[in-house]
Structure 1
Amino acid sequence: MTKPQIVIIGAGFGGLACAKALGNSDIGVTVVDRRNHNLFQPLLYQVATAALSPADVSEPIRRTLARYGNIRVLMGEVNGIDSEGREILLSDGARLPYDSLIIATGSEYNYFGHDEWHHHAPGLKSVHEARQIRHRLLLAFEQAERSTDDAEKRRLLTSVIVGGGPTGVEMAGAISELGSFMIAKDFDSLSRDQFRVLLVEAGPRILATFPQDLSDYAANYLTRIGVEIHLNTAVQDIEPDRIRMAGEWLPAGCIVWGAGVKASPAARWLGVEPGPAGRLPVDPRLAVIGRPNIYALGDTALALDADGKPLPALAQVAKQQGLYLGNALKAELLTGAKSPPFVFQNRGNTAVIGRNAAVFDFGRWHLKGRLAWFLWAIVHVWLLVNFEKRLLVSIQWLWRYATRQRGARLIDEDAVGHIMPPPAADPQRPH
């Protein structure tokens, strides 16, 4: 009897959890991802701000799944799905058949019709983007140290973070702490009053998905460490060395985007009408509505809670869905048993703001400050892919906490020319 074949597109939190649940079973599993590594995205901001290196938050997918004899890993980019023929289409023209398909392709940043801004204001969805931001930040300080023009120094030392969600808040706090430390310890010709960090949010408050008291705490802490918060402010344009908001151009050395996400193009692959943010509507068992034997999870899926509200795009949601779906499919394919609908167990929502400062929302009760920061660290270390990563990150965090040093402050000299181009020399452009 031929083994049932399951294909999983994407090796993020949900895809890996699903694959592990199916591991070493009498089911053939193929995991397809355009990268050869999994990535712990919640800590990418620490790669971008030189606290961790890329290897600390990523691991080859083949290594992660090597102990499962029934799982095959393929590196390839999916650009279509033939649901009638039960095949996925790869960008090199290859076709991969399946009996059941699981789409766990995550999300990407939404530039709201201005995709050209991506080059000038990268987000935090890949190692490449995190390294790009780190290079721009560090290179800005090196160039400011050499500059003899005060206005140019101030431009280079101005960082703008677009979006007041958890990623934006974490980046703003980390950049403020990094810049203050480097100016105090390493750059003699620079002063703290030349250094600016702006957090720009189109809505009325930062951390809008958190309760008001936690949002207020985060805003007060960021203001105390020198971050300028601009609320009800929409971005109008972005160029390599400046950003336009509230009708005015602001020169900047580094611009980071964190203003919203949209799902992968999975809805287009399947020819179905997407839900909000491009997510695939799924039933309570995570099956894509109207597409037999196709499932979706994580940021790709529009799954609803008991109140009919969409589940948030969080790592804990994706992991729980992946574990549920892997076990459910294993039971159904091997024994014919139907599993009950998926139920999300909320373990709290958290965001770190800076040294000894974080917020934790557990629903009925809230936590903030040093204890929340300590709990945030425990949770994020635990979520790392294996013991080796947990140990390495823990040691580095302890060292950084004791010394305030950041060990990944490296600039790729081969990338300097195109990572941070000089300001556009156009005397006619508006100021």
Structure 2
Amino acid sequence: MTGKTRQGRSHVVIIGGGFGGLACARELGNRDVDVTLIDRRNHNLFQPLLYQVATAALSPADIAEPIRRTLGRYRNVKVLLGEVHGVDAASRTVSFDGGRWISYDYLVIATGSEYNYFGHEDWRPLAPGLKTIHEARLLRQRLLLAFEKAERSTDREEQKALLTSVVIGGGPTGVEMAGAISELGQAVLKQDFRQIDASLFRVLLVEAGPKLLAAFPETLTDYAKNTLENMGVQIRLGASVSQISPNAVQIGEKSVRAGCIVWAAGIRPSPAAQWLGLETVARGRIPVDMHLSVVDCPDVYALGDTSQFLDEHGKPVPALAQVAKQQGRYLGRSLLKRMAGEAEVKPFRFHNRGNTAVIGRHAAVFDFGRWQMKGRLAWFLWAVVHVLLLVNFEKRILVSLQWMWRYLTHNIGARLIDENTRNIPATTDIQETLR
């Protein structure tokens, strides 16, 4: 493959079809430039709502869309399904899928992040995170199967274990998942099951640090903790997990049996830095300058979770969807200016739209920096923001209507169990389980 796909036109290669990569591709769409976007998945995914897929509130199709459909109206954008294995900055080529390669004039790395198991990769199939549809479906499967097994059990201790869910990590994802599991259990156990003692149902939220939502102000973290406890969630602060087995978690010196274990304890960037042979910062992030350019790599740019960008105060911007989206838009416009020969391009500046986490029905927190919001109004604003961040108008309408219906009826979504994976053990690899 060649770098110039048409006579005299530059070729931009974008690795990753998440918030940042799609935003950049859209800015370059239908312009005098050729664009190739490479992703190992054929769909873009709104990860902030994956916890609702895992707790049967939404279906995967509500928050995902094929990348080809998203970018289909841009005739100068080509999409390739493949997994990148390396980048040669000297020859300006990207290698992927068994020896295939593509050359570029400008390279944009927007490969996101994955969950960090801190050296315990054997825990990954036992305690899935919430980064892919596969993981969300697997967690939903385990939650619903645990309820079904508890229904047919005559042993009280076994029922208690099956009706226990452990969420590891007290950040936004952990808080949201703990609240959603609590609401799911309380909504369906008394209504739909006949043999289960609903008082045995419990959700444990385990955080190694001294407080939940560490990046939020104290008033909001206290509100989140109190709200979760009022919902019945048991919170263990300053507690570390030392071992995970198929049906139990070692928390400190105590082993807790559980029907479902969820990992939300931290993320790490993709291995993109290794492709370039770069020294990384902040546990593997690629350092970039004020224009999102990778240091010492001409015409290579990185954005989103995989990069380390310092704001005007010298602080790294957070790993949020809004950051990646703003960086993608900026970089697309910046590249067009560079191709047009403009010498001066303004540096990227992050405009904070607020950091948020939902706790449960009528309960959320919003941190805007100088001021904060919590409670019902924050919950409503959270819903509006997340709907607007969805990829297109159709998804916004679908999700809005489903949320409205479930709000009015208190009804939970389709709680479907795939009979083909019903008896697969928890130690089976996630990808194999859902293949």
Which band: TM-score by shorter chain? over 0.9
How far apart in 1 are the matches of 2:384 and 2:150? Answer: 37
Matched residue, 2:4: none
Structure 2 residue aligned with 1:264: 270
Match status 1:81 vs 2:77: no
Instruction: Quote the RMSD (CA, aligned, Å).
Output: 1.0
For 2:202, the equivalent position in structure 1 comes to 196
| Distance (Å, rounded) in 2 between the aligned partners of 1:334 and 1:40 | 33
Contact kept? 1:165, 1:208, Cα under 8 Å: yes
Range that drifts further, 348-357 or 83-92:
83-92
Look up the equivalent residue of 1:397 and give its one-letter code: W
Q: Distance in 1 between matches of 2:364 and 2:99?
A: 47
Equivalent residue in structure 2 for 1:25, among 27, 31, 35: 31
Secondary structure of 1:43's aligned partner: helix
Corresponding position of 2:185: 179
Q: Any conservation in 1 of the 2:125–2:426 contact (CA below 8 Å)? A: no
Structure-2 residue corresponding to 1:71: 77
Unaligned 5+ segments in structure 1 are 423-431
Q: Which of 334, 347, 361 is matched with 1:355 structurally? A: 361
Of 163, 175, 179, 2:169 maps to 163
Aligned counterpart in structure 2 of residue 122 of structure 1, from 122, 128, 145: 128
Instruction: After TM superposition, give the deviation of residue 296 of structure 1 in Å.
Output: 0.2
Partner of 1:131: 137
CA deviation map 1:235-259 (0-9, x unaligned): 0010100000111211000000000
Gaps of 5+ in 2: 1-6, 429-435
Deviations 1:298-348 (A, max 9, x none): 001100011111110000000000000000001111243431110000010
2:154 corresponding residue in structure 1: 148
Q: What does residue 61 of structure 1 align with?
A: 67
AA at the equivalent of 1:193? S
Give the conservation status (yes or no) of the 8 Å contact 2:388–2:396: yes
Match runs of 1:12-411 below 5 Å? 12-411=18-417
Counterpart-to-counterpart distance in 1, 2:321 and 2:328:
11
Contact 1:132 1:419 in 2 (8 A): no
Moved over 6 A (4+): none
Letter in 2 for 1:389: K
Structure 2: distance between partners of 1:161 and 1:421: 18
**TM-score with structure 1 setting the length:** 0.97
Distance 1:101 1:119 in 2: 33
Conserved 8 A contact 1:135-1:419: no
2:425, 2:329 → 1: CA distance? Answer: 39
Counterpart in 1 of 2:421?
415
Superposition deviation, residue 293 in structure 1: 0.8
Give the distance between the partners of 1:179 and 1:122, measured in 2 at CA. Answer: 19
SS in structure 1 of the partner of residue 340 of structure 2: helix
User: Percent identity over the alignment?
Assistant: 62
Matched letter for residue 376 of structure 1 = W
Q: How many residues align?
A: 422
| SS across alignment from 1:122 | coil
